[in-house]
Structure 1
Amino acid sequence: MNWDDMRIFLSVSREESLSGASRTLRLDPATVGRRIARLEAEMDAVLFVKSPQGYVSTPAGERLRAHAEAAEQAMTEALSEVRGDEHTLTGTIRVGAPDGCATFLLPHVVQSIVVANPGLSVQIVALPRVFNLSKREADMAIAVSRPRTGRLRIQKISDYALHLAASRAYLDGHEPIRTRADLAGHPVVGYIPDMIFDPELDYLAELGLSRIDAASNLVSVQLALLRAGAGIGVVHDFAMPDAPELMPVLKDQMTLTRAFWLIRHDDDARVERLNRFATTLAEGLRAEMARRTQP
């Protein structure tokens, strides 16, 4: 058995398919399949069962995965020490985040970190769903709700506020909105209801608004709809500087508060490079949110 076999095994286990693992590994799916078959023969054990959902780990596969991930972590730490980069920010780090954070906050923060650390490359993955760190989709992820299960290290980054907003052109062309009752009859922009991936994003229900007239699964598209005059919707306060056409609506009467959480796999706590990056990232996000929401 060699480490390359373990690397391929882990990729299939995380992606739950040969095609997914082949994309990650940049190998042909047939090659990945042969390597898994060879590993199973060498270990005299069935590691995966093929199902309509993909490759599902057997109990033997689950046991091997725990050891393989421990070996992977040891290899990562060894490489970091050998290269002497445990005290510097170098290499590639992938950060997953909901698209609101990824669009309006992370670019400014990441650029500052990269400029200060020339040997560092940061990948921002913006997806409207919860990231699976156990599959190593990212080195760390930012979420809008605190996970309740899993071997994770969780750090609260900061609270943030959201308010209703609409474009100046829209507001100028309609009756003034002075109370909640005045919202009746106005078109509403929000998430596609069946694509809300976290209860914390169900803003409109909390505000008593049930009808959605224009919807998207992406915050950036919702903001574009509001800027185009599609109606009234919930906007992150930190996104307002990017949308000068928008005006707050009922800001003193209706406020939503949410939080960002930084989530990491528990095993990564031993990697000093990732610890330093996580600290720098959290501090940068707090500073950027404060900068973008100051009066």
Structure 2
Amino acid sequence: MHWDDLRIFLAVARTESLSGAGKLLRVDPATVGRRIARLEEGMGTALFAKSPQGYAMTDAGQRLLTHAERAEQAMAGALEEVQGQAGSLSGQIRIGAPDGCANYLLPQVCTQIMAENPDLEVQIVALPRVVNLSKREADMAIGVSPPATGRLLVQRITDYKLHLAASRAYLKHHPPIKTLDDLRGHRIIGYIPDMIFDKELDYLNEIGVERVTMASNSVSVQFNWLRKAGGIGVVHDFAIPSGHGILKVLPDKISLTRSFYLIRHADDQRLERLNRFAAALSEGLRAEVARLEARS
């Protein structure tokens, strides 16, 4: 069995399709299919159950998965050892993050890291859901709560603040807001209730707001509604400086605190390259949150 066979096996296991694996590996899906068939023939057992819904691992495939992931870690460690651990970072690193962090923090933080490491490639996957590290959707992820299951390495990065906010234009043309009861006469912007993927994001329920009239699963869409004088919503303090005219509402009565966590594969802590990037990312995020919140 060759490492390249295991690499293709892992891609199909994680994407559950030949086309998905082909895109991941930049290989024709038909080639992926032939390689999987050859691997199954060589092992004398089916590794995947094929159906119109995709490729699901069989029991034999599940058993092979553990060994294939160990081989993947060993190959990554060997490459790192040969290339050396000193000097600048290189290669591709993919980060998964909720879109608030991905839009308002990660671009500037990663730009700084890449300025110091010109051979580094960074991909930011902004998803309004939890990033699946077990399927290698990313090398590491930023979450708003620590995962309860899985072989994962979890580190709290920093706390951040959120407040009710609205644009100056909206507040100028609508009734004044002096108490929480005054919110009833205003349009409320927030998440689509049944698409809140983490309880930590259920801000409006926490402050007693029951009805959302302008809703999106994207923080960026919500923020743009605020910028366009659409209504009032809960906003990250670190996003406010980019709003040009976004003002806090009832800041002395409503203030929320949440945390960002860096989540990694437990086995990846043996890879110095990822350790160094994770340290730089965490330090950069702490500094950027502090800088932007001071301006909000």
TM bucket (normalised to shorter chain) is: over 0.9
Superposition map of 1:1-295 within 5 A: 1-85=1-85, 88-294=88-294
Confirm or deny: 8 A CA contact 1:166 1:226 kept in the other structure.
yes
The CA distance in 1 between the partners of 2:274 and 2:285, in whole Å, is 16
Q: Distance in 1 between matches of 2:4 and 2:276?
A: 29
- Alpha-carbon offset, residue 52 of structure 1: 4.7
Q: Which amino acid aligns with 1:121?
A: E
Equivalenced residues, count: 295
C-alpha separation in 2, matches of 1:44 and 1:137 = 30
Once the two structures are TM-superposed, the CA of residue 127 in structure 1 deviates from its matched residue by 1.1
Go from structure 1 to structure 2 and tell me whether the alpha carbon gap of 1:193 and 1:183 turns closer, same or farther (over 3 Å shift).
same
Instruction: Identify if the C-alpha distance between structure 1 residues 98 and 135 changes in structure 2 by more than 3 Å, giving closer, same or farther.
Output: same
Q: Which amino acid in the other structure matches residue 251 of structure 1?
A: P
Report if the CA contact (8 A) 1:86-1:271 is conserved.
no
* Matches of 2:197 and 2:254, distance apart in 1: 23
Task: Give the partner amino acid of 1:174.
Answer: H
Give the TM-score, by structure 1 length. Answer: 0.97
> What SS does the aligned partner of 2:209 have?
coil
- Aligned-partner Cα distance in 2 for 1:194–1:22: 33
Cα RMSD, aligned residues only: 1.2
Rounded Cα–Cα distance in structure 1 between residues aligned with 2:88 and 2:227 = 42
2:107 maps to a residue whose letter is: P
Q: Decide whether the 8 Å contact of 2:88 with 2:116 is kept in 1.
A: no
- Once residues 12 and 75 of structure 1 are traced to their aligned partners in structure 2, the CA distance between those partners, rounded to angstroms, is 19
Show CA shifts across 1:8-39 (max 9, x none). 10000111111211111122222211111111
Question: Does the CA contact (< 8 Å) of 2:85 and 2:272 recur in 1?
Answer: no
Distance 1:188 1:178 in 2: 16
State the one-letter code of the partner of 2:280. T
User: Which deviations, in whole Å up to 9, do the C-alpha atoms of 1:257-291 show, x marking residues without a partner?
Assistant: 11100000011010001001101110110000000
Identify if the C-alpha distance between structure 1 residues 9 and 151 changes in structure 2 by more than 3 Å, giving closer, same or farther. Answer: same
For residues 168-188 of structure 1, the C-alpha deviation after alignment (integer angstroms, 9 at most, x for no partner) is 111111221011011112111
* d(CA) in 2 for partners of 1:204, 1:279: 33
Equivalent position amino acid for 1:101 in 2: C
Unaligned runs of 5+ in 1: none
Distance in 1, Cα, partners of 2:193 & 2:21: 32
Superposition TM-score, scaled by structure 2 size: 0.97
Gaps of 5+ in 2: none
* Distance in 2, Cα, partners of 1:176 & 1:114: 46
- Take 1:146 and 1:219, find their aligned partners in 2: how far apart are those partners? 20
Shift of 1:87: 5.5
The list of structure 1 runs, each at least 4 consecutive aligned residues, that deviate by more than 3 angstroms after superposition, is 85-88
Contact 2:157–2:285 (Cα < 8 Å) also in 1: yes
Retained in 2: the 8 A contact 1:87–1:272?
A: no
Amino acid in structure 1 at the alignment position of 2:77:
E
